[in-house]
A and B are shown apart, each in its own frame.
Chain A
Amino acid sequence: DTEVTQTPKHLVMGMTNKKSLKCEQHMGHRAMYWYKQKAKKPPELMFVYSYEKLSINESVPSRFSPECPNSSLLNLHLHALQPEDSALYLCASSQGFRDRRLGGYTFGSGTRLTVV
């Protein structure tokens, strides 16, 4: 299995809703990432997990809450979002940071989020 699977593919939510994005990989990767991508822009890093521990939080607002329940699964919990949070949310995985040499990322196909 060489894929990163993200669900749902599309999500529309109101500003008072709570929802979650899910990401799963079975490649034995020990680092997992959330990226946010606005239209016609490159992805922007939000969070990095290494060996199920939060390693990097790029000053993301608390209305985004990541969770890594195990080495294969990464969630992004959403609460009280704003319309400007509408974007494509990409999950990725890679070899863990304790490996001597790091490789590239494998990306999922993303969740297109619309906040109304």
Chain B
Amino acid sequence: AQTVTQSQPEMSVQEAETVTLSCTYDTSESDYYLFWYKQPPSRQMILVIRQEAYKQQNATENRFSVNFQKAAKSFSLKISDSQLGDAAMYFCAYRGALGGGTASKLTFGTGTRLQVTL
């Protein structure tokens, strides 16, 4: 079974600074997706960024980028130029890439609560 671990329950960053959230995972599959979701107090789960395991290039979305280390099974999220609106719970998640069975399941880490201070 796949597992996702987020070892930082809470993080804090000053506005305009950079912060990195950690995530490690365990899987025996070779093809899969990794995601970072953001959940603000408004509670909607918002997709921040996604990475396909077969792509070596790290994904980037504006101020958000990942450091994907497939061999180490590590998938960290870097937020640059942090803004007050980035304050939220961040979940790392894993999903198998192929159709059927357990690949349908999105496995979440326990989350990291990010605070952004002035």
Contact = CB atoms under 8 A, between A and B. Distances in A.
Chains A and B bind each other: yes
Given A42-B109, A102-B99, A109-B43, A31 B33 contact: no
The size bracket of the interface on A is: 20 to 34
A42 B35 contact: no
A99 interface: yes
Interface of A: 31, 33, 40-43, 45, 48, 50, 55-56, 88, 90, 92, 94, 96-110, 112
Interface of B: 33, 35, 37, 42-47, 50, 89, 91, 95-100, 103-106, 108-111
A109 B35 CA distance: 18
Given A31-B104, A42-B110, A50-B104, A104 B43 contact: no
Contacts of B37: 107
Given A56-B105, A104-B33, 16 more contacts: A43-B108, A56-B104, A92-B45, A94-B104, A98-B99, A99-B99, A100-B98, A100-B99, A102-B33, A102-B96, A102-B104, A104-B50, A104-B106, A105-B45, A107-B37, A109-B42
A104 to B, nearest CB: 5
B103 A102 contact: yes
Q: Top 9 closest A-B pairs, CB basis? A: A42-B108, A97-B99, A107-B45, A109-B44, A97-B100, A48-B104, A110-B43, A104-B50, A104-B35
A41 to B, nearest CB: 7
A104 B47 contact: yes
B47 A55 contact: no
Contact of A102 (B46, B97, B108, B110): B97
B106 A105 contact: yes
